[in-house]
Structures are given as structure tokens and as C-alpha cells.
Amino acid sequence: MEILIVGLSHKTAPLDIRETVSFSERNMEEGVRSLVACPSVAEGLIVSTCNRVEIYTATSKKKVEEAKSEIIGFLADFHDVPREKLDPHIYTMSGEECVGHIFRVASSLDSMVVGEPQILGQVKEAFGCAASAHATGNILNRLLHKAFSVAKRVRSETRIATSAVSISFAAVELAKKIFGELTGKTVMLIGAGEMAELAARHLLSNGVEHIIVANRTYENAVKLAEEFKGSAIPFNELAQQMELADIVISSTGAPTTIIDKKMVKDVIKRRRNKPMFFIDIAVPRDIDSAVNEVENVYAYDIDDLEGVVETNIKTRSKEAAKAEEIVVGEVGQFLDWMRSRESFPTIVALREWAEEVRRTELAKTMKRMEGLSEVDAKRVEAMTESILNKILHRPISRMKKAAHKGDEGEVVGMVREIFEIED
């Protein structure tokens, strides 16, 4: 059997093409069932995310080319897209390259943001859907479970996912460094920028207890506060209410700063010098850089956060090299298992034939030795088993060694010919 991938991703296809062939939760199972209905596809599953649509299959080694054509045809027909529109963006892989790719995808080494955590869950969901549709078998079951264990190794043995690589996550990371635990902290959100909202959501998921929203349009503040189950305040009460906040995220469209050193100095005094963390995601900036001069105040603007992100991306790149070493080693182990499967039926057939010969000849001999005691009869039988095992040891070992080297085909063929083992 051969493992085959047909797919397209953010590296080969623009978003408008990826959208046309994506699978939703609603039509995924139908897609998987249609996929394995292709004559040359023995097993199959579909991974569909915003960045990739990849089809993993197992097929006969003799039918790889037919399978490629059938899978591309399935993709085009299922989504009613002209095949010629997909062809320039499609890639295919098989064998060792294919196994390594699946391990890298599950480990997020092939993701747009290396180390992002979502892809492993998406691959697991794809496998779960295919398995429940009975579209996977020995090959893909083993391959995907191996991919999950490789991803686990990569995450536990490298630091590929430990540092933030988005502005919003970087803000959370910095907040944790300042406060240690975020449990029970209060965030004030000023304005309604997308990144500020995202940062607020991440802070909430990391233990922040309450969100206060201030917006020049009070109705918008109320609406946003309802989303966070927080509270809204009029914009002109900003300075008075700020003392309640441990973290302030500002993202307005104001042409000049709206928070200055004097305002923050007064606030920190009312807070009795309890630390405050300011995140300014606005351009132009909402917060005067001089607020950093106030004791126990930590203010970061968009450039500071991007600097943190850039440093973390470099760290992840270094860790990705370590992760690649893990992937290469695991690919070798999986290929050994695949190759051993090629020689396994021959080994079984050879043993069955030899055992039949042994039993037949032993029965003939025993008929001529009727006076033999039970103990001696067992000794004779043990001797025939020992002879059989020693004779078979060399051809079986030779087949296993050939499988390990990847050239088992010739050796297995020779053994089958010598012992007249039929396919």
C-alpha cells in the first residue's frame, strides 16, 4: 500500500480558491464517503481549515496515478468547480515525503504561524469524522495516531508553542509577567478596535474577572460590555473610573493622546500605588509615552508589542529546527512499520507451508515408530520444530533486513518464487 496526499494550501492557492473547495462540519462526512467511493482509494480522510484542504489516502502502489486523478476529480465534482481551475494550485505527495508532511502538519510546523495550537485539534476532528464514517483502516489509523504522538513530542520536548506570536497574545504574556496571576484582575477597554477586543478576550480566558468598556458612543460601549458580561461607562468618566482597572487597553481613533502622565499619576495615587499595565494599540497613540515615568506603571505601545512578537517568532524558528529532528526520526520508524507490512504476508505464508510439511512428515514417521514412549514422541516433535525454526530463520531475517533498507520487493519476490508461494 502507498500513502498519498492531494491538496492545496495557503502556500499554493489564494483564499478565493481555498474557499471554493473547503469542507464544513455539515458536509464533511458526505465528502469522506464520496472520497472512499473512488475506485482506487482504499482509505481516506479530509483535513479542511482556512489555510488548507488536504486529502490523505491509502491506495495500492500500482494505482497511485489513478488515485491522484480520481481524488482531484472528486474535489472538483463535489464542489462543482472546473478541474482546470484547481490544477495550477494542487500538489501531491506520496511515500516518505507524505508521512513527513502529515507529521509536520499535526505538529503545526507547516502552519502559517508555526506553533499555533489549533491545527492539531482540526486534524483530530478530521480523523474522528473519517473513522466514524468507516473511511479509515489499518494504514491511516496507524499513521494519524502516530502523527498525534509526534505532535505531542514536539510540544513537550521543544518550546515551539510557549511564546506569543500575535499582538493580542503578546499583551497577555506581558500582563502575566507584571501581575503573575491574572485571576481577579479588572480590564478597562477604551475604544473598540479589533485587536483590543481580541486582547480582552484572551485576558478573560486567562483569568481576568471583569471588563469595563468606555467608548465615545455610549451605546457601542454598552453593546460591547454585554458581549464580555462587563459594564459600560460614559467616555467622560474615563479618568474617575480608571482607578478600578489593573489593565487598560486603548484603541480609539483619536488624533492625539487621551491619557497623559498627570491623569495616570492621579489614578495611581488613588490606587495607593497598586501596579497598572497600559496597552496602547492605537495609531496614532492614545497614551502619552511619559506615563511610563510614573512609578508602578507599565505602558507598552504597538511597536513594543511587535518587538515582543518578532523576538518570539525568532525563538519559534529555532525550536522548529529541533522539532524537525523529531519528525525525521519518527518518519523513519513509521516507514519501517510500513515496509514490514509488505513482507509480513510472505512470512506468514512461508511459515504455514513449512509447518504443514513438518506435521505431514512427522505423522508418517510416528506411524513407523508405534512403540515410542510419550516422552520420546514429544522429543522427536520438539526436534522437528527446532529444525524448522532454524531453516526459516535465514530467509525471514533476510526479508526483514531488506524491509528495513526499503528494498524488500526483490527479496520477497525471490522467496515467493523459490517456495512457490502464490499471491
- Is 98 a residue of the active site? no
Candidate from 70-84, 176-190, 193-207, 226-240 with smallest mean pLDDT: 193-207
pLDDT the model gives residue 423: 65
Average pLDDT, the chain: 89
pTM: 0.64
Helical segments of 206-260, H only = 218-228, 238-241
Per the CB < 8 A criterion, the answer to whether 148 and 244 are in contact is no
pLDDT at 174: 84
Residue 183 CA to residue 378 CA, distance in Å, equals 74
Catalytic residue among 38, 50, 98, 129: 50
**Cα radius of gyration (the chain):** 32
Q: Which helix (H) or strand (E) holds 134?
A: none
Whether 274 contacts 246, CB under 8 Å: yes
Angle CA(285)–CA(303)–CA(310) in degrees, nearest 5? 160
Tens digit of each residue's pLDDT (9 = 90 or more) over 200-229: 788 888 889 999 999 999 998 898 899 889
Residue tagged 477586543 (cell numbers):
197
Residue 193: pLDDT over 70: no
